[in-house]
């Protein structure tokens, strides 16, 4: 996370001094996520997303779970939280690709990695709301965004949290 965001911020003339200072504060204050993950659904979404929760549980129980190819699209932030938008492209196995194709659009629109929070009082779930707002209508109000340059990664979905 530190390298991907730091590289983009370090070469950007489209990022304000204030935003660079915020990133530096997150980085130096040890606020950058050490174990980044994509959460597909959260226990706070239950019981409304019980079916999705169950699909994630089944997928995680396969041995080994599918490996997904993801595109990291943009870094989105405000004065509280920083996130990276994620698009899952495909998986290394059929059950992973079936899972991707079954995801409702509203779930796909919220997929992200929480990169950092300003302090321990800020809940990481705020990153989801920020990404949903940005994807739905552009960053409004206090949010900002910078695109990553076709950065791809591979990983297993955290699925649940």
Is residue 45 domain-resident? yes
The residue segments making up the domain with residue 150 are 2-155
**Residue 69 buriedness (CB in 10 A; 0-12 / 13-18 / 19+):** middle
Write down the pTM of the prediction.
Answer: 0.88
User: Which tokens is 39 given?
Assistant: 């959460």
Segment 79-137, tens digit of pLDDT:
999 999 999 999 999 999 999 999 999 999 999 999 999 999 999 989 988 998 888 85
- Please give the tally of structural domains in the chain: 1
Specify the CATH number for the domain of residue 121: 3.90.1740.10
Q: From CA 15, how far away is CA 34, in angstroms rounded?
A: 24
Look-up of token digits 């940005």 = 134
- Residue 161, in any domain of the structure: no
**Is pLDDT of 156 > 80?**
no
**Beta-sheet pairing, 112-117 with 144-155:** unpaired
Task: Write the pLDDT tens digit of every residue in 35-92.
Answer: 888 888 888 888 999 999 999 999 989 999 999 999 999 999 999 999 999 999 999 9
The answer to whether residue 160 sits within a structural domain is: no
Report if residue 101 sits inside a domain.
yes
Report yes or no on 59 lying in a domain.
yes
């Amino acid at each position: 996370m530190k390298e991907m965001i730091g590289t983009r911020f370090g070469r950007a003339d489209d990022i304000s001094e204030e935003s660079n200072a915020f990133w530096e504060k997150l980085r130096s204050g040890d606020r950058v996520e050490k174990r980044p993950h994509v959460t597909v659904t959260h226990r706070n979404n239950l019981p409304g997303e019980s079916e999705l929760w169950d699909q994630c549980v089944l997928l995680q129980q396969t041995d080994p779970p599918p490996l997904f190819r993801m595109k990291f699209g943009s870094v989105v932030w405000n004065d509280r939280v920083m996130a990276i938008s994620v698009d899952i492209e495909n998986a290394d196995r059929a059950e992973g690709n079936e899972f991707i194709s079954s995801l409702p659009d509203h779930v796909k629109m919220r997929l992200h990695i929480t990169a950092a929070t300003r302090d321990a009082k800020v809940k990481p779930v705020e990153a989801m709301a920020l990404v949903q707002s940005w994807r739905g209508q552009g960053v409004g109000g206090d949010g900002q965004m910078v695109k990553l340059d076709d950065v791809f990664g591979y990983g297993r979905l955290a699925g649940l949290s």
